[in-house]
């Protein structure tokens, strides 16, 4: 299950300045896979993947540490009224999120997206957006 973490790094006490992921792996034994990280001097956003059975525990412990946690099940939203089932998104997605069904209609697989944004930029009909 994918969790999107956002945190402050402004002061030394902020969670973004602490080794929170390493600490949680050590404390819980849960293997946390970091899939993407955007971190600057004042804030950070990190996408992690954890086993489904451990997601509640990791989410609770992260929140206790002052991190904002969002569950990313449907990370990308497709506007069915705009989509023309052209398949461009299938070609650009590195995670194989998109696929055609037997009627050549586009569908999305949940839980695979790493929020790279390539499909959003590539869609010729602006049918894709990131879940808010």
- Closest distance to ligand SF4 from the beta carbon of 34 (Å): 15
| CB-nearer residue toward ligand SF4: 65 or 83 | 83
Contact criterion met (CB below 8 Å) for 32 and 21: yes
Q: Is 72 in the site for ligand SF4 (CB under 6 A)?
A: no
Q: Is 123 in the site for ligand SF4 (CB under 6 A)?
A: yes
Q: Is 128 in the site for ligand SF4 (CB under 6 A)?
A: yes
Q: Is 116 in the site for ligand SF4 (CB under 6 A)?
A: yes
| CB-nearer residue toward ligand SF4: 64 or 101 | 101
Q: Is 74 in the site for ligand SF4 (CB under 6 A)?
A: no
Which spans of this chain sit near ligand SF4 (rule: CB under 6 A)?
76, 78, 83-89, 92-95, 97, 106, 113-119, 123, 125, 127-128
């Amino acid at each position: 299950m994918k969790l999107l973490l956002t945190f402050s790094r402004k002061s030394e006490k902020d969670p973004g300045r602490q080794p929170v992921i390493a600490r949680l792996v050590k404390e819980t034994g849960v293997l946390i896979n970091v899939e993407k990280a955007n971190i600057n001097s004042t804030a950070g956003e990190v996408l992690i993947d954890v086993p489904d059975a451990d997601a509640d525990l990791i989410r609770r412990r992260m929140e206790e540490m002052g991190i904002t946690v969002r569950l990313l099940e449907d990370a990308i939203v497709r506007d069915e009224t705009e989509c023309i089932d052209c398949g461009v998104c299938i070609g650009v997605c590195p995670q194989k999120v998109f696929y055609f069904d037997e009627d050549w209609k586009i569908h999305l697989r949940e839980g695979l997206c790493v929020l790279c944004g390539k499909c959003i930029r590539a869609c010729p009909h602006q049918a894709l957006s990131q879940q808010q």
